[in-house]
């Protein structure tokens, strides 16, 4: 029967099996009490999807609860023209430093890996601070191709405020999560009834950042951590709010998240960046969804420092396979990887067609590795 507790919930490797069982039971009961099926909620964080898939949490969810991953993979939503800008800069002979997954993400025609194969100098870094070190050791121009949400953008802001070397600049593709939640909430195809917000992004912004959203859209938001029990507890609270038709923000991750967030980090973030509208790959134009350097920091902005001509890359039509890729629909929560005819066939982690199969935070790569509904026997083994 729909909504029944799966027998297997207790077999999951939770730190506290009793607590997990009680939470799974509550989740089942509350989902049933909502009174319609399915109940659809969205999370917006690759780390949440990793934990849900890795620990086989969907086996503990009631069948009438759809927990969908939205646009929570920063690599995946980086738009083609943004990759093109990095490729064009690399072709100009500047050193491009960027986070690992970005190198293989396809642009309109080429990825940075392709540019590298053509002789461009591309360096993978784990931190923007390492890109600074690279610039200090080099006489060439170093451009940090900056991706990631607000959690990562604060680090970019911090190094720019700490007297970077003169040959260092930033090509910002940073994105800001709260505005995209508005877009997804308004999409007619998605019937999202509640959002599970990512704990670590909220560590920076505070949970208060979601209050205007909740007021405007009448959809509850619960901030949750990443441990399996944190996620279950977050979902229990979220479905309870849906059942009670209460559009509130509830912080279920108080060990990391406060109402006002990390003010010191926010101060640095907004000193350097301003939110502007822009496309998120496969999703839509997102008003205020992109973080760009403010005009007073033009000297550190690669878009101002260099004449970036991406049009020269647009002489070719995109390959046919990538046109069949439904990454955008998957990130908008309209489709799942199993709806894609390329998933696991032409599109594989070693030969990805779309960005969702490139990034370790992409839904397709996560499902390919762990399965969306993994066999419990393999969980935690």
Partner 1 sequence: MCLGVPGRVVDVAGSLATVDFWGVRRQVRLDIVDQPVSPGDYILNHVGFAIRRIPSEEIEETLALYEILLREAGADDLMLADMKSEIDATGPGTEDGR
Binding site for partner 1 (CB under 8 A): 13, 15, 45-47, 50-51, 54, 74-75, 99-101, 126-130, 148-149, 151-152, 154-155, 158-159, 161-162, 198, 200-201, 203-204, 226-228, 255-256, 262-265, 268, 360-361, 365-366, 369-370, 380-381
User: Which residue has tokens 């964080």?
Assistant: 45
Q: For residues 51 and 366, give the distance between their C-alpha atoms in angstroms, rounded to a whole number.
A: 10
**Residue 19 vs 246, nearer CB to partner 1:** 19
- Of 16 and 248, nearer to partner 1 (C-beta) is 16
Q: How far is the CB of 50 from partner 1 (least distance, A)?
A: 5
Beta strands in 273-380 (DSSP E): 273-280, 284-293
SS3 at position 363: helix
Ramachandran region, residue 379 (left: φ > 0; alpha: ψ -120 to 50; beta: rest): beta
Residue placing its CB nearer to partner 1 in the complex, 26 or 159: 159
Q: Shortest Cβ distance from residue 365 to partner 1 (Å)?
A: 7
CA dihedral 177, 178, 180, 184 (to 10 degrees): 120
User: Considering only CA atoms, which of 300, 309, 360, 359 is closest in space to residue 172?
Assistant: 300
The minimum distance between CB 244 and partner 1, in angstroms, equals: 28
Min CB(309)–partner 1 separation in Å: 30
H-only helix segments in 121-247: 128-136, 150-161, 177-186, 199-205, 211-217, 228-243
Based on CB atoms, which residue is closest to partner 1, 151 or 336? 151
> Cα 128 vs. chain centroid, distance in angstroms?
18
CA 22, CA 91: separation in Å to the nearest integer?
57
Burial of 359 (0-12, 13-18, 19+ CB in 10 A): buried
CB of 158 to partner 1, least distance (A): 4
User: By C-beta, is 108 or 172 nearer to partner 1?
Assistant: 172
CB of 194 to partner 1, least distance (A): 20
In whole angstroms, the minimum distance from the beta carbon of 316 to partner 1 comes to 31
**Residue whose pair of structure tokens reads 């959690």 in the numeric block:** 151
Q: Which residue has the tokens 């973030």?
A: 269
For partner 1, the closer CB: 193 or 361? 361
Closer to partner 1 by Cβ: residue 159 or 356: 159
C-beta closer to partner 1: residue 2 or 162: 162
Angle at 182 between CA 103 and CA 106, to 5 degrees: 15
CB of 319 to partner 1, least distance (A): 27
**What minimum distance in Å lies between the beta carbon of 180 and partner 1?**
15
| CB of 130 or CB of 138, closer to partner 1 | 130
The answer to whether residues 315 and 294 touch, using CB atoms and an 8 Å cutoff, is no
Tokens matching residue 64: 């009438």
Q: Residue 187: exposed, middle, or buried by beta-carbon count in 10 A (0-12, 13-18, 19+)?
A: middle
């Amino acid at each position: 029967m729909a909504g029944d507790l799966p027998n297997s919930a207790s077999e999951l490797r939770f730190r506290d099996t009793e607590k997990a069982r009680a939470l799974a039971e509550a989740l089942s009961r509350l989902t049933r009490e909502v009174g319609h099926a399915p109940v659809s909620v969205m999370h917006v964080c690759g780390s949440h999807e990793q934990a849900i898939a890795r620990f086989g949490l969907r086996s503990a969810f009631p069948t009438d609860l759809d927990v969908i991953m939205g646009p929570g993979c920063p690599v995946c939503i980086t738009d083609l023209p943004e990759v093109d800008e990095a490729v064009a800069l690399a072709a100009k002979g500047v050193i491009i430093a960027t986070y690992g997954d970005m190198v293989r993400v396809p642009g309109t025609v080429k990825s940075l890996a392709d540019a590298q194969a053509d002789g461009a100098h591309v360096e993978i870094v784990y931190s923007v601070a390492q890109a600074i070190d690279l610039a200090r050791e080099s006489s060439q121009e170093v451009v940090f191709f900056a991706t990631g949400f607000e959690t990562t953008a604060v680090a970019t802001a911090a190094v720019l405020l700490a007297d970077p070397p003169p040959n260092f600049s930033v090509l910002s593709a940073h994105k800001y999560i709260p505005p995209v939640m508005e877009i997804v909430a308004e999409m007619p195809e998605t019937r999202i009834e509640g959002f599970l917000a990512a704990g670590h992004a909220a560590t920076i912004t505070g949970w208060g950042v979601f209050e205007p959203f909740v007021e405007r859209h009448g959809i509850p938001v619960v901030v949750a951590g990443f441990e399996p029990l944190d996620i279950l507890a977050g979902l229990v609270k979220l479905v309870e709010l849906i059942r009670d038709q209460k559009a509130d923000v509830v912080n279920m991750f108080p060990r990391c998240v406060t109402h006002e967030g990390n003010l010191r980090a926010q101060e640095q973030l907004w000193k350097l960046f301003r939110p502007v509208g822009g496309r998120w790959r496969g999703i839509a134009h997102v008003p205020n969804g992109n973080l760009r350097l403010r005009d007073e920091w033009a000297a550190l902005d690669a878009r101002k420092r260099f004449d970036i001509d991406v049009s020269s890359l647009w002489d070719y039509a995109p390959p046919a396979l990538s046109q069949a890729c439904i990454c955008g629909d998957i990130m908008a929560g309209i489709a799942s990887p199993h709806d894609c005819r390329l998933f696991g066939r032409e599109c594989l982690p070693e030969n990805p067609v779309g960005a969702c199969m490139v990034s370790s935070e992409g839904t397709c790569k996560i499902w390919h590795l762990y399965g969306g509904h993994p066999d419990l026997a393999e969980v935690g083994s």
